[in-house]
Amino acid sequence: MSIKQTSTKWNLSVPLFALSALSVQGRLAAAEPPNIVCIFVDDHAFQAISAYDHPISKLAPTPNIDRLAKRGMVFRESFVENSISSPSRATLLTGLYSHQHGQTRLGCCLDDQKTWFPELLQHNGYTTSVFGKWHLNAEPKGFDYYDILFDQGEYYNPKFRRPDTQGKYLPEEGYVTTLITDHALAWLDQVTDEREPFFMLLNHKAPHRNWMPDLANLDLFNDIDFPEPATLFDDYATRGTQMQTQELTIARHLGYAFDFKVEELAGEPTLPYIQESWPGAIGQLNKQQRAIWDEAYKKQNAQFLKNRPVGRDLVKWKYQRYIKDYCRTIRSVDEQVGRLLDYLEKKGILDNTFIVYTSDQGFLLGEHGLYDKRFMYEASFRTPLIISYPPWVKENSTCDKLVQNIDLAPTFLDVAQVDIPGEYVGMSLVPLLKHERKHPWRKELYYHFYDYPAVGNVRKHDGIRTDRYKLIHWYGEGYGGDPAIDLWEMYDLKNDPEEIHNIYDNNHFKKQRKALHHRLTKLRKDINISE
C-alpha cells in the first residue's frame, strides 16, 4: 500500500491573519468564547472509567472523572484513527489523519508546517499552554507557555522543560501526575483573572506502561480480584499469522521486573528492551521512595515467589498484577482531575469552562490476552471522551454517534468561535453537544496503523468500522522472519462484540462483506490513500 502525500482538500495558502479577521468579526456578534481545558491522558482505557460502567471500573472507580460525566456528555462510540501515541498527538493538534500530518509512526515524520489549532486560538485572543507529556519531534507551536516532560516522562522525579530552562530538562522531586497538575494550577493562577480566555492542554503521562503507582497507592486493590475479560485465553483460532507473531501478550511478553514489579525475577528471559528498561525506571526513585516501594512489593510478591503458579494460573496472576498497577496509576489521575475541578470551581469558572477528558487511545486490559494498543480491535481502537460544558450540554447525557480524534481540533475552534480551516478532516462535536439530533453525521470510521517493524511487532493494518460491522485489512512485507501478509478480518459487532469469530470467509455475510469493501475503497479514495 502506498500513500499519496498530497490531498485535494489541502489549502494551506489561507494565511492565519485572514482566518483570525473573519472569526473576530464573528465573535463580536456572539457571546464571549469560553475557556477550554483538554485533559489528554496517555493510554487510559474506557474500561477503567466508571462513567463507562465496565466491570473493571466498578472495582476501581473514578469519582472525579465521573464528576465531568455527571455534568456533561459521555461519548460511548469514540475512537482514534491510529492507536498509538505520537500519531494521535499529532492528529489532536492538526485535525488530520496520520498520513496527512506525516506522523504515521512513533518516530516519524511529523510535518510541522501544518496549522495546529492552538495557533489559531492564539491568533484569536486565547492565552494557550501545554503541560506534561509532549512526545513529538517538533517544538510546541501555538502555545504561550509549555512545561513538558522529556520523551515518555518518568513516574518518579521526572524532568521538565519550560521556556525559561534554556532548552534543558530539569528534574523535580515528586510523582509525575501530581507535578503536572501543580504546574498547570500555577499557570492557571496567572491567567484565570485575565480578560482573555485561556486554552490549556493537560497531558498526563499515566497510566502509560510501566504502570508505577504513587507511593500512597501501592497497596490499593490488594484484597480484590478483578474480573478477567472473557477473551483472556483467546487462541486466535479464526485469525491469521499476524496474531501468532505479535509480541503483546500478557502471558508471554511482559517482564517480571519492569512490568510485574517482581525484582527477584529480573534475570528471567524476556524481550531485550523490557530487560533493559527496568534499571532506569526503578532507578528514578530516591532512597526514601525506594524503601517504601520495596516494602510494599516485597509483601505483595511473597506468596507468589513461595508458591509460583504455572500455566493458566500464572497468566491469571499476571493479569491481576497488571490490572492492579494500571488502576493504581489511574487513582492518581482521578485524584488530580478532582483537584483541577475543585480549583476551577473555587475560581467560579467551572461552569463556563469547556472541559474535555480523553486519551491518546484506548488500551487492551487483557482482551484477547493482550495489553497495549495498536490493534483495530475495540479495546484499543476506542478512546474515552467526556465533555462538560453546562451552557450547552445536559447533565448525565450520552452520545452514540461515531466520533473520532480527528473531531477534536474542529470542535475546539468551533467552541472558540474561530473559523475551521478547510483542510481539517473531522467534524465539530458542537451540534452533538447541543443535542441537535437531526444534524447529519458520519456512518463509518477509517483506521490505519503503520508502526511496523517496531515494539510489539503488530503488523500494518487499516480498516473500516460502521455501527454494526468491522472490516480489517492486514498487509505488507514482513521483517525478522515474519511472512508477507494480505489478510482480512470481519466482525459482526452486534452478535460478536468480543470479536472472536472472524466472519470474513462466511458466505452468509457475503452481501455485507461486499458493501464494506466498497465503503472502505471509497473512504481510502476520499482521503487519498491508495493500494
State the minimum distance, in angstroms, from the CB of residue 43 to Ca ion. Answer: 4
State the minimum distance, in angstroms, from the CB of residue 363 to Ca ion. Answer: 8
State the minimum distance, in angstroms, from the CB of residue 98 to Ca ion. Answer: 14
d(CA 144, CA 164): 12
Q: Give the dihedral sign, CA 433/434/437/438.
A: negative
State the minimum distance, in angstroms, from the CB of residue 531 to Ca ion. Answer: 28
85 binds Ca ion (CB under 5 A): yes
Question: Judged by CB, which is closer to Ca ion: 41, or 243?
Answer: 41
State the minimum distance, in angstroms, from the CB of residue 83 to Ca ion. Answer: 8
Stretch that binds Ca ion, among 190-198, 245-253, 359-367, 502-510 (CB under 5 A): 359-367
Question: Judged by CB, which is closer to Ca ion: 208, or 239?
Answer: 208
Question: Judged by CB, which is closer to Ca ion: 135, or 473?
Answer: 135
- CA distances (Å), origin 123, targets 18, 22, 139, 413, 418: 10, 11, 18, 11, 9
Compose the 195-234 pattern: x for residues touching Ca ion by CB under 5 A, - for all others: ----------------------------------------
Question: Judged by CB, which is closer to Ca ion: 102, or 207?
Answer: 207
Question: Judged by CB, which is closer to Ca ion: 43, or 119?
Answer: 43
372 binds Ca ion (CB under 5 A): no
Contacts 24+ apart (CB under 8 A), 104-107: 104/3, 104/448, 104/450, 104/451, 105/450, 105/451, 105/454, 106/451, 106/454, 107/137
| Nearest partner of 445 among 337, 349, 375, 524, judged by Cα | 524
Question: Judged by CB, which is closer to Ca ion: 42, or 81?
Answer: 42
State the minimum distance, in angstroms, from the CB of residue 449 to Ca ion. Answer: 13
Question: Judged by CB, which is closer to Ca ion: 73, or 93?
Answer: 93
One-letter amino acid at 523 equals L
Which one-letter DSSP state was computed for residue 240?
Answer: -
Stretch that binds Ca ion, among 37-45, 66-74, 301-309, 330-338 (CB under 5 A): 37-45
Question: Please, which residues bridge with residue 471 across strands?
Answer: 464, 490
Stretch that binds Ca ion, among 100-108, 155-163, 358-366, 482-490 (CB under 5 A): 358-366
Question: Judged by CB, which is closer to Ca ion: 114, or 133?
Answer: 133
Question: Judged by CB, which is closer to Ca ion: 360, or 499?
Answer: 360
User: Cell 488502576 belongs to which residue?
Assistant: 327
| Nearest partner of 344 among 32, 33, 36, 31, judged by Cα | 36
State the minimum distance, in angstroms, from the CB of residue 210 to Ca ion. Answer: 13
Which parts of 394-423 interact with Ca ion (CB under 5 A)? Answer: none
404: left (phi over 0), alpha (psi -120 to 50) or beta: beta
Stretch that binds Ca ion, among 79-87, 137-145, 173-181, 446-454 (CB under 5 A): 79-87
- The residues, any chain, with a CB within 8 Å of residue 403's CB and separated by 6 or more, are 75, 77, 78, 79, 385, 427, 429, 432
d(CA 35, CA 418): 13
Size of site (CB under 5 A) for Ca ion: 4
User: Cell 469493501 belongs to which residue?
Assistant: 517
State the minimum distance, in angstroms, from the CB of residue 159 to Ca ion. Answer: 19
State the minimum distance, in angstroms, from the CB of residue 456 to Ca ion. Answer: 12
Which stretches within 95-218 are classed as H helix? 98-101, 117-123, 176-191
d(CA 160, CA 170): 5
Stretch that binds Ca ion, among 24-32, 80-88, 156-164, 406-414 (CB under 5 A): 80-88
Question: Judged by CB, which is closer to Ca ion: 374, or 524?
Answer: 374
State the minimum distance, in angstroms, from the CB of residue 373 to Ca ion. Answer: 6
Which parts of 450-489 interact with Ca ion (CB under 5 A)? Answer: none
What are φ and ψ of residue 372, in 5° steps?
A: 80, -165
| Nearest partner of 53 among 76, 30, 83, judged by Cα | 76
Question: How far is CA 521 from its chain centroid?
Answer: 27
Which parts of 40-59 interact with Ca ion (CB under 5 A)? Answer: 42-43
Radius of gyration of the chain (CA): 23
360 binds Ca ion (CB under 5 A): yes
d(CA 78, CA 400): 8
Which stretches within 228-307 are classed as H helix? 242-245, 272-282, 287-306
State the minimum distance, in angstroms, from the CB of residue 151 to Ca ion. Answer: 13
Stretch that binds Ca ion, among 19-27, 136-144, 355-363, 465-473 (CB under 5 A): 355-363
Question: Judged by CB, which is closer to Ca ion: 83, or 301?
Answer: 83
Given the rule CB under 5 A, which residues bind Ca ion? 42-43, 85, 360
